[in-house]
């Protein structure tokens, strides 16, 4: 009777998600929450377990790490079962979770693996979805050539299926990419075909997006009447769906059209409507962008007071939300993925129906044959063991990645409380480096050669920082910034920093002398200052540890006032190191908010 109990649960899962497909299909956290209990009871096996993991991974939108865990478990179990259809699904959902989380490399890797699984399963639609996901990722990271190639492959494959919504989505995404690279004729061609497919399928939200983007393309081509007509029609549909993000964006597009016609009154009206909507529904990117648009419009009308007000609002909002540009892109990626999964779920449902009779018979036989049941329990034990090993490896990998981004104490605080409090340090030492003549070299080097040259130096600088227990803060172009005294060497951080600076100078000099392959080599300037700073983590995605204060600004001025191969320090640092190092007074420098300051060259260690 126990087996029949869990078979009923399997049927419930299948029927429930079949109804989801019929009702429009979308990710829903409530579905994941309702299935967790079945997962925790851990009584399902075979296709039923695969289906459960697939639905958990797809609908878990609140915790992306958990979604990836479910996907990894689905991948591992699909390999054991030699089920390539579910293996494709596991990789595809792992890729989607990673791209929403902002991990493009891991997402691409998963999508390529998913494509291979779809090919082995002879699943044409899945191969098409995988190529579309790969193209989307290449478009996001700016690789136009690869993006176009994979969009073409996706569209060609999806034309071989009966799924007009997925084909329309691939055409829409390709059109959006063509807009990015300003190939407006190709963009219009893709959007118009996608619009017709969405209309035939009665997929209204897709129809609205294509109409709006067609209007934006017409605006770029100077066909303002057609642009207004298409965007207005899109706005009517979007209001029914209460899609306020898209509405706010298309209102700004209408504002642009009227501004181009010098009709500033109507242009301002559309922009204000967009801002009110964005503020009401907390649309962060649109609040920032629309404030900037209003600033530009008021500037054109000669109202500089209002222009400055909205520009200030834009700057404040932009700086307070550093990851704002990612939000719309991640929302688009999630929407694309939901559409692509509709056909996957329908195909899997059909397969489960064909196998339903086999599952019932297998369950009855399992109850009668204790030997088979014992073997199943043995396999289950080893599967859980292997899965736990995979989870532990991923946990260690995440731990090491976090420690590579943040100081150890800061990383520990982030894990314990989910946030990091800003902290003031009364005395730390900050170092800046800069390559002389870098701009001139950069203009004559290929991007690959330029990055390779800078990486050669900065990798060695990282080793020197680690040797002296100093903290690398960040790199800005060819400038390298680090600090001492944040968590180690509370008293001797200035001495440690100067010793590290001498090692950097020595490495740069040796690199020039031993340059056998005639690689690009630079001269370096170094500046150091000591004082108080505030340190903390900014942003909610792609965490960045940083420090702020006049101490940082003065260190930067010490660097820009230094000379080739020299270490230039402020008076504050000089007072801490003069007993150990031979220093040479070299004059004063004007520093903003601090007046005239003394500076010194450090020539070497006192004998």
462 Cβ contact list (under 8 Å, min separation 6): 472
Compute the Cα dihedral for 6, 11, 17, 19 and give only its sign: negative
Higher pLDDT, 19 or 564: 564
Residue 557 in this model has a pLDDT that exceeds 90: yes
| Strand, coil or helix: 474 | strand
For residues 203-218, give the mean pLDDT: 91
Confidence of residue 567 (pLDDT cuts 50, 70, 90): very high
Nearest Cα residue to 466 out of 491, 496, 439: 496
pLDDT digits 0-9 by tens, 220-249: 999 999 989 999 998 999 888 888 888 888
Interatomic CA distance for residues 291 and 46, integer angstroms: 55
The secondary structure of residue 564, as a DSSP letter, is T
pLDDT digits 0-9 by tens, 302-350 = 898 888 888 888 887 765 544 434 444 443 444 444 444 544 555 555 5
Rounded Cα gap, residues 199 and 606, in angstroms = 81
pLDDT band at residue 2 under the 50/70/90 scheme: very low
pLDDT for 21 equals: 34
Q: pLDDT of 515-547, one tens digit each?
A: 766 777 889 999 999 999 998 887 666 667 889
Give mean pLDDT, residues 469-482.
Answer: 91
How much is the mean pLDDT over the chain? 81
Q: What is the DSSP annotation of 230-283? A: HHHHHHHHHHHHT-HHHHHHHHHHHHHHHHHTT-HHHHHHHHHHHHHHHHHTT-
Question: In the 8-state DSSP scheme, what is residue 541?
Answer: S
Give percent above pLDDT 90 in the chain. 40
Spatial contact of 538 and 552, defined as CB atoms under 8 Å apart: no
- Alpha-carbon torsion angle 480, 483, 487, 492, nearest 10: 140
φ/ψ region of 46 (left if φ > 0, alpha if ψ in -120 to 50, else beta) reads: left
CB 270 within 8 A of CB 254: yes
Distance CA 362, CA 360 (A): 5
Domains and CATH numbers, the chain: 245-322 (1.25.40.10), 418-605 (3.30.70.1230)
User: DSSP letter at 485?
Assistant: S
Residue 595 confidence (pLDDT) above 50: yes
**Distances from the Cα of 258 to the Cα of 247, 300, 475, 542, angstroms:** 17, 13, 42, 38
Question: What is the per-residue pLDDT across 377-429, written as a single tens digit (0 to 9) for each?
Answer: 777 777 677 766 766 666 666 555 555 556 666 656 666 655 667 788 889 99
**Interval 162-196: pLDDT, tens:** 888 889 999 999 999 998 999 999 999 999 999 99
pLDDT at 25: 44
Mean pLDDT of 69-85: 90
pLDDT at 157 over 80: yes
The answer on pLDDT for 145 being more than 70 is yes
């Amino acid at each position: 009777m126990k087996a029949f109990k869990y078979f009923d649960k399997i049927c419930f899962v299948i029927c429930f998600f079949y109804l989801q497909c019929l009702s429009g299909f979308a990710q829903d956290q409530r579905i994941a929450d309702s299935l967790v209990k079945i997962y925790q009871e851990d009584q399902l096996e075979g296709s039923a377990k695969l289906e459960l993991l697939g639905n958990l991974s797809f609908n878990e939108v609140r915790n992306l790490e958990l979604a990836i865990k479910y996907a990894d478990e689905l991948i591992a179990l699909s390999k054991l079962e030699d089920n390539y259809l579910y293996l494709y699904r596991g990789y595809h959902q792992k890729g989607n979770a990673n791209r929403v989380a902002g991990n493009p490399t891991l997402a691409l890797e998963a999508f390529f693996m998913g494509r291979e699984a779809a090919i082995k399963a002879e699943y044409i639609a899945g191969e098409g979805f995988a190529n579309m996901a790969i193209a989307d990722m290449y478009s996001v990271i700016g690789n136009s050539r690869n993006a176009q190639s994979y969009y073409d492959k996706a569209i060609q494959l999806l034309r071989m299926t009966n799924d007009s919504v997925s084909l329309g989505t691939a055409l829409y995404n390709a059109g959006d990419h063509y807009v990015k690279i300003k190939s407006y004729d190709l963009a219009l061609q893709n959007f118009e075909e996608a619009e017709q497919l969405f209309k035939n399928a009665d997929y209204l939200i897709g129809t609205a997006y294509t109409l709006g983007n067609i209007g934006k393309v017409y605006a770029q081509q100077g066909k303002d009447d057609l642009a207004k007509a298409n965007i207005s029609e899109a706005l009517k549909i979007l209001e029914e769906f209460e899609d306020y993000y898209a509405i706010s964006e298309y209102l700004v597009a209408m504002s642009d059209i009227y501004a181009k016609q010098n009709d500033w009154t109507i242009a301002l009206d559309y922009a204000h409507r967009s801002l009110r909507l964005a503020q009401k529904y907390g649309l962060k990117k649109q609040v920032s962008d629309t404030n900037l648009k209003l600033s530009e419009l008021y500037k054109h009308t000669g109202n500089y007071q209002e222009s400055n007000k909205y520009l200030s609002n834009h700057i404040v909002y932009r700086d307070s939300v550093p990851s704002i540009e990612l939000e719309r892109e991640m929302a688009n990626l999630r929407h694309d993925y939901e559409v692509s999964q509709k056909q996957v779920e329908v195909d899997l449902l059909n397969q489960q129906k064909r196998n339903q009779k086999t599952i019932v018979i297998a369950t009855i036989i399992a109850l009668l044959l204790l030997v088979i049941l014992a073997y199943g329990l043995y396999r289950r034990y080893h599967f859980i063991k292997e899965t736990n090993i995979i989870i532990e490896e991923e946990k260690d990998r995440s731990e090491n990645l976090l420690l590579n981004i943040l100081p150890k104490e800061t990383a520990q605080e982030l894990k314990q409380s989910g946030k990091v409090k800003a902290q003031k340090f009364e005395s730390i030492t900050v170092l800046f480096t800069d390559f002389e003549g870098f701009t001139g070299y950069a203009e004559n080097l290929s991007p690959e050669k330029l990055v390779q040259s800078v990486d050669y130096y900065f990798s060695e600088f990282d080793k020197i920082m680690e040797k002296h227990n100093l903290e690398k803060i960040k790199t800005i172009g060819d400038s390298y910034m680090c600090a001492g005294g944040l968590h180690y060497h509370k008293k001797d951080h200035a001495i440690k920093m100067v010793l590290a600076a001498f090692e950097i100078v020595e490495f740069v000099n040796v690199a020039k002398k031993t340059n056998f392959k005639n690689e690009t080599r630079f001269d370096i300037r170094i500046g150091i200052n000591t004082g108080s700073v505030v340190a903390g983590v900014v942003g909610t995605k792609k965490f960045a540890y940083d420090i702020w204060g006049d101490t940082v600004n003065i260190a930067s001025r010490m660097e820009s006032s230094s000379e080739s191969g020299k270490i230039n320090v402020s008076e504050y640092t000089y007072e801490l190191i003069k007993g150990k190092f031979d220093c040479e007074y070299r004059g004063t420098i004007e520093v903003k908010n601090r007046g005239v300051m003394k500076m010194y060259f450090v020539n070497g260690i006192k004998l």
